[in-house]
Structure 1
């Protein structure tokens, strides 16, 4: 086990990101399972930074975890997604206020720097539990999961016996009857270890049952996964935009040629190139400022624990929705317009600038941003907070 300070965690993330950036293009093209990338995270002691000190973690806040996700995403959006989802899944041990689960699974997770995946899509065809002595058997299929094939443990949403409500259980990825589909073949986020997973008569003991995501039974603290997930997504988008700008900027400085009619001797002297970069840099810096503010807000709300109110939780949901709106707009603009300031040769597969847009375009479709716009607008006009769903 290794306990990190906030600054050490951010510096470790930057070091990992530097390593990931060296062969990001090649790894994206290869589309292999990211076992080596996950090991980099473990070696840097990043998986356990959110776990409380009493179970062996670093006890850091979500403001630090979000910054770490941003740093990793700047080099590789897929690995940023894996790590961000890991933090959310792991922190369910705290959010669902299950001290026994935290003591059992948290200690193991901190000791071995476990990485957590998930299959928590409550809208997918039901995965069910049936009684089996003192425990259960789980069967079914999830069409979408993240990290399952490279994670140590994963959180799975199942239909609660008797009620059908979404119940969360912890599953070790090597358990008998667990079969990742290996069918993730999408435009971007190619190394996020996503895709389907099938469960066939998987044994579930009582200590693997974590808690419920049923909105009718949720507490403000137990519902934090929804607004925090929006913050995680936004940090991924911000990191991708930062990485795209850095990569494009270096290309413009070293490779791009001035246009024939520009009348200047280098691309870095072209006033239109300078103005375009200025617009993109300004937009990214604005998102950075809002993201830092949201990170502080998430950490403060998370620290309230059982004292958190629904109104305070609602304020966070509106704040993270606002961040997501501008983060999506910015990352899509940046990752598209960088080609205008790098030139036609920058479309070469060897350069790999397209990976930033592909990653951003793929994940920004996670849930429609127009619903986040509506939530922010409705709160502005009427004071209404978004209701708790797995998306808000």
Structure 2
């Protein structure tokens, strides 16, 4: 059995090399260069994840007191957006890395925070996600020492393949509530399945994970949900939702940029346009104008929500329920616009670029496919309902697993 809290470091078979990108711009260019091919192949992006680790991005959300970057939320989300412009699958992995760090930060006691957050820095741990309280197939049976045994399965476990640690939620039948814990991914009894095969977001390692008599030590149990959590602890949900929001914005931005480059290089004016260059076609100009309006509008609301989240985060235990609700409202507003922008801009890319842009090797459809898969995470209708309720009656969104 792996010693608790002592998982292996990054894959030693993938050492740093002189060819690895040394900064964020270099990383983005390297990811963009292989994005289309990796989208076709799917599977696990081991080398690219290594590059992300070598760029120092795994500790963006780790507080400075534990040796991390301690980046403010607007900076975290800008980094996620930057990756999503070129590869939204790997941006998803980075976003969920930050989310698991936050899970430990808000649910862990001081000793757990020090142990796991400092370990993330020193071991350059990738974190996997097996937290979904709605999925009650994973059963937690209490043990006499205060720990648990886990048996069952979890689905949509993003980032688990190739990770060193994972956060887990499981159903405790004795209390009827979920328990939350940290466990090394290599713990005896854990099997990470390679069964993630969607039409988009193909390299998020979001397959299922099976647990067979997996021991959870008492010190690995983070949170038992026995009492109503303080408003600050519930910010984890909004951190998660803004990860998705900024993925959507990045997809829209990436699709717009790919369309611009394609039309600039390869565009032909329509035969009745009366212009010599595609970039002078008034209808094409109007189409790009609409795509940009959607994109910059979504970015503006995403940045506003990130600033509000940062302000709320800095409040700590003093954060009020009302202030938390205002962040939730801003998050829903941003996510609605980002959701729509990602789908519409990635679809309108083809109207802007024309028939030749559907050439399969270009893989320009990956933006729409990635957006379509990711925007199904939770229903947009309920988010619009929350915004409409506030607009009509001044009622802020209630705390839930998604707001």
The answer to whether TM tops 0.5 is yes
After the TM superposition, which of the residue ranges 232-241 and 51-60 deviates more from structure 2?
51-60
Deviations 1:90-116 (A, max 9, x none): 111222252111011111001122121
The residue aligned with 2:228 is 217
Contact 2:150–2:215 (CA<8 Å) still a contact in 1? yes
Alignment of 1:209-288 (within 5 A): 209-213=221-225, 217-288=228-299
Question: Which of the numbers 196, 203, 208 marks the counterpart of 1:196?
Answer: 208
| Contact kept in structure 2, 1:287 and 1:327, CA below 8 Å | yes
Question: What RMSD over aligned residues (CA atoms) do the two structures have, in Å?
Answer: 1.5
Distance 1:140-1:85 versus aligned 2 partners, 3 A rule: same
Match among 345, 349, 364 for residue 334 of structure 1 = 345
TM-score of the superposition, structure 1-length normalised?
0.94
Match of 1:113 among 93, 107, 124: 124
Deviations 1:325-366 (A, max 9, x none): 111111111000010111101001111110000000110010
Partner of 1:385: 396
- Report how far residue 161 of structure 1 moved: 5.8
* Cα separation, 2, equivalents of 1:351 and 1:282: 25
Give CA deviations for 1:351-388 in whole Å, capped at 9, x if unaligned: 11100000001100100111111111111222222222
Match of 1:175 among 164, 187, 205: 187
Alpha-carbon distance in structure 2 between the residues aligned to 1:293 and 1:388: 20
CA distance in 1, matches of 2:265, 2:224: 54
Measured in 2, the distance between the counterparts of 1:284 and 1:269 equals: 22
- Could you tell me which of 367, 371, 374 is aligned with 2:382? 371
Does residue 27 of structure 2 align to residue 16 of structure 1? yes
Query: How many angstroms does 1:213 deviate by?
Result: 4.9
Per the alignment, do residues 307 and 13 of structure 1 end up closer, same or farther by CA in structure 2, a change over 3 Å counting?
farther
Distance 1:13 1:295, change over 3 A: farther
Structure 2 unaligned residues grouped into runs of 5+: 1-21
Q: Which deviates the most, 172-181 or 356-365? A: 172-181
Measure the CA separation in 1 of the matches of 2:67 and 2:316. 19
- Alpha-carbon displacement from aligned partner over 1:53-80 (angstroms, at most 9, x marks no partner): 1211112211111111101111101011
Moved over 4 A (4+): none
Q: Deviations over 1:247-305 (max 9, x none)?
A: 11111011122222222222111111111001111221122222221111111111111
Give me the whole-angstrom Cα distance separating, in 2, the residues matched to 1:391 and 1:212.
Answer: 19
Looking at structure 2, the residues matched to 19 and 197 of structure 1 have their Cα atoms a distance apart, in angstroms, of 30
Q: Which digits, 9 at most, give the CA deviation of each residue in 1:191-245, with x for residues without a partner? A: 000021111111111121111456x522111111212222111100000111111
Asked if residue 36 in structure 1 is aligned to residue 43 in structure 2, the reply is: no
Which residues of structure 1 form unaligned runs of 5+? 1-10
- Residue 23 of structure 1 aligns to a residue whose secondary structure is helix
1:15-94 alignment runs, 5 A limit = 15-94=26-105
Q: Does 1:159 align with 2:162?
A: no
Distance 2:185 2:247 in 1: 25
Query: Which residue matches 2:217?
Result: 205
For these two proteins, the number of residue pairs brought into alignment is 381
In structure 1, distance between residues paired with 2:92 and 2:398: 25
Q: In structure 1, what is the Cα distance between the partners aligned to 2:124 and 2:251?
A: 25
